[in-house]
A and B are shown apart, each in its own frame.
Chain A
Amino acid sequence: MSTAVLQARGVRKSFGHTEVLSGIDLDVTPGETVVVLGPSGSGKSTFLRCINLLESLDAGRITVDGRDVGYDVRNGRLHELSPNEIARRRKDIGMVFQQFNLFPHMTALENIIEAPIAVLGEGRREATARAVDLLAEVGLAGREKAYPRQLSGGQQQRVAIARALAMRPKLMLFDEPTSALDPELVGEVLATMKRLASAGLTMVVVTHEISFAREAADRVVFMDAGQVVEQGTPEQVIDNPQHERTRAFLSRFL
């Protein structure tokens, strides 16, 4: 296949009788930061969740690093994989959730080392050393022993980012990572994400932070009603939108 980290072709998904994704095409190349904008309910979260198979697709195909997460190709046909094999393929895709979803019964450090030990087979000492570095990288040096509840929302989300990074993902998905935060805490999380973007991490970011899209995105994708309406550089899509739906959406942020 090509050099794209993520390739989505004709992705469709329905819940009951309502079609939430109506044929999504998207390519993401290595090191690229793609920001997905769009009104609430347009299917942004569903699309991200299809990428790491938290939701199954009804039609179309998604490959990450040239491989389907949920299927093997044999004799020119896709064959469904077992849950354990799917789990193994998910390890290359990091995900950061709106509600953080940290493990509340584990300290920050334990949150970060759990999957590297369980999935990558890293030794505890090695995983711990790396977790300490990662915490420092997201500005939380010395908070190894804190439980999630003892941290602010912004700090929790940065631990969640460190937890995802500990798996050395080839692709990171962010689903409205700052939407659950108090306004004064949004900046610290966005600053962390900007650093990751300029360090060359491949990222797909769903957000309503237009300023982040402007400063960090290589490409902006506007989604509405389960379709990609338009995409391009931040200047093209944000400053000079071609479609009425994009203009209507962006006018709310002026």
Chain B
Amino acid sequence: MATTVQDAPAAGLELDVRNAAHRKHPWRWLSALVVLVFAAQLVKMLITNDNFGWDVVWSWLRAESIVRGLGITLMLTVVAMVIGVVLGVLLAVCRISANPLLRGAAGLYIWFFRGTPTLVQLIFFYNLSALLPKLNLGIPFGPVFASVDTNTLITPLLAAILGLGLNEGAYMAEIVRGGLLSVDPGQREAGQALGMKNSRIMKRIILPQAMRFIVPPTGNQVISMVKATALVSVIALSDLLYTAQSIYNRTFETIPMLIVVCLWYLAVTSVLYVVQSFIERHYNRGARHQAPSFWDFLRIRPKGSAA
């Protein structure tokens, strides 16, 4: 020890961290090796096990019925998410409003839709006619202006959209509320002091900043929603999963058809992942931390880290 301390100044100030030897990462390389071995095993099984039925998978992957089922799945995802986001923003604004009635109503809504299973809500909307044979538009205990048979109005598609969308609204409300609360109150005050209206402050100042906190969990929600739409197969709506099921009920090629389904879900969620990373970058304008790039997971030595 003593010698190193004495040596240090003698070693000279001409040394430069620029030329320092990088720390070795033997464990990283070893674990990479282990992962590679397992990956090789997996690939071998995928190729040599005939039960996967890759030829069947390939022939069904772009079959018209499957693509139509995928279309229904995507349409449901988009419509339910749009309903969910719009409803979520409204509910979140109600939740933090000064009006106690609005706060209570929004709280009750969120409590109910988060507290009961999505599957049950779906079946419930599908069977709404058992509870309300007719839907009326009018004044309670007063005149009725319009009336419609519930079964003609609530098709399986509408039941699916209502079930998924109203449920999503409850989750989005909490995400949006968290985002709004994360914005410094000084931002609203600065807007007020400039004479801006509350609606404009929300749109131009609070929401854009809240988006940094809203986008990542919303991306999660979209990906969950893509998969949650598979629930609608219980109400006989021919989405991707229901279509695949009706095919393998005939052909008994269960595993290959499920692989077809998984491949499509993976393809869709991968695209969404890339889209999300672009949106995150957009809303990180002016922020200290940039959102990670899509390819960062491939780096052994993460960008900008000391280790």
Interface, chain A (partner B; CB < 8 A): 52, 54, 83-84, 87-95, 97, 99, 101-107, 114-115, 118-119, 147-149, 163-164, 167
- In the assembled complex, which residues on chain B have CB atoms less than 8 Å from the CB atom of A92? 195
Partner of A83, one of B191, B198, B208: B198
* Complex: chain B residue closest to A160, CB-CB: B190
- In the assembled complex, which residues on chain B have CB atoms less than 8 Å from the CB atom of A90? 192-195
- In the assembled complex, which residues on chain A have CB atoms less than 8 Å from the CB atom of B193? 52, 54, 90, 93-95, 97, 164
Q: Tell me whether A83 and B197 are in contact (CB under 8 A).
A: yes
Shortest CB distance B32–A (Å) = 37
Provided the pairs A97-B190, A118-B204 are in contact, do residues A104 and B287 lie with their beta carbons within 8 angstroms?
Answer: yes
Q: Does B285 touch A at the CB level, under 8 Å?
A: yes
Q: How many residues on B have C-beta within 8 angstroms of the other chain's C-beta atoms?
A: 23
Provided the pairs A54-B189, A101-B189 are in contact, do residues A88 and B286 lie with their beta carbons within 8 angstroms?
Answer: no
Q: Tell me whether B196 and A119 are in contact (CB under 8 A).
A: yes
- In the assembled complex, which residues on chain A have CB atoms less than 8 Å from the CB atom of B184? 101
Bound together, the chains give a CA A216 to CA B111 distance in angstroms of 58
Provided the pairs A54-B189, A103-B187, A106-B286 are in contact, do residues A164 and B198 lie with their beta carbons within 8 angstroms?
Answer: no
Q: Tell me whether B194 and A119 are in contact (CB under 8 A).
A: yes
- In the assembled complex, which residues on chain B have CB atoms less than 8 Å from the CB atom of A95? 190, 193
Which 10 pairs show the lowest CB-CB distances between chains A and B? A91-B195, A115-B194, A147-B286, A101-B190, A95-B193, A101-B186, A90-B195, A119-B195, A104-B286, A87-B197
Q: Does B288 touch A at the CB level, under 8 Å?
A: yes
Bound together, the chains give a CA A75 to CA B302 distance in angstroms of 71
| 29 sample A-B contacts, Cβ–Cβ < 8 Å, listed by A number | A52-B192, A83-B197, A87-B195, A89-B195, A90-B192, A90-B193, A91-B194, A93-B193, A94-B193, A97-B186, A97-B193, A101-B184, A103-B190, A103-B205, A103-B209, A104-B209, A104-B287, A105-B209, A105-B286, A114-B204, A118-B196, A118-B197, A118-B204, A119-B195, A147-B286, A149-B286, A149-B288, A163-B194, A167-B195
Bound together, the chains give a CA A97 to CA B188 distance in angstroms of 12
Bound together, the chains give a CA A87 to CA B197 distance in angstroms of 6
- In the assembled complex, which residues on chain A have CB atoms less than 8 Å from the CB atom of B198? 83-84, 87
A sample of 13 more A-B contacts (CB under 8 A), given A84-B198, A101-B184, is A54-B189, A83-B198, A87-B197, A95-B190, A102-B190, A103-B190, A103-B209, A105-B286, A115-B195, A118-B196, A118-B204, A119-B196, A167-B194
Provided the pairs A101-B187, A101-B189 are in contact, do residues A148 and B286 lie with their beta carbons within 8 angstroms?
Answer: yes
- In the assembled complex, which residues on chain B have CB atoms less than 8 Å from the CB atom of A54? 189, 192-193
Bound together, the chains give a CA A119 to CA B195 distance in angstroms of 7
Interface hub of A93, A106, A163 (most chain B Cβ within 10 A):
A106
- In the assembled complex, which residues on chain A have CB atoms less than 8 Å from the CB atom of B187? 101, 103
Bound together, the chains give a CA A103 to CA B184 distance in angstroms of 10
- In the assembled complex, which residues on chain A have CB atoms less than 8 Å from the CB atom of B191? 115
Contact with A along B193-229 (1 / 0, CB 8 A): 1111110100011001100000000000000000000
Provided the pairs A97-B189, A101-B189 are in contact, do residues A87 and B196 lie with their beta carbons within 8 angstroms?
Answer: yes
Shortest CB distance A119–B (Å) = 4
Bound together, the chains give a CA A163 to CA B205 distance in angstroms of 15
Shortest CB distance A146–B (Å) = 10
Bound together, the chains give a CA A118 to CA B190 distance in angstroms of 14
Bound together, the chains give a CA A148 to CA B288 distance in angstroms of 11
Q: Tell me whether A88 and B285 are in contact (CB under 8 A).
A: no
Partner of B195, one of A88, A97, A149: A88
- In the assembled complex, which residues on chain B have CB atoms less than 8 Å from the CB atom of A84? 197-198
* Complex: chain A residue closest to B283, CB-CB: A105
Bound together, the chains give a CA A95 to CA B192 distance in angstroms of 10
Bound together, the chains give a CA A115 to CA B193 distance in angstroms of 10
* Complex: chain B residue closest to A147, CB-CB: B286
Interface hub of B186, B190, B192, B197 (most chain A Cβ within 10 A):
B190
Bound together, the chains give a CA A92 to CA B118 distance in angstroms of 52
Shortest CB distance A134–B (Å) = 14
Bound together, the chains give a CA A149 to CA B209 distance in angstroms of 14
Partner of A105, one of B186, B195, B196, B208: B208
Interface hub of B195, B205, B208, B285 (most chain A Cβ within 10 A):
B195
Shortest CB distance B289–A (Å) = 11
Q: Tell me whether B192 and A87 are in contact (CB under 8 A).
A: yes
Chain B residues numbered 166-192 whose CB sits less than 8 Å from any CB in chain A: 184, 186-187, 189-192
- In the assembled complex, which residues on chain B have CB atoms less than 8 Å from the CB atom of A99? 186
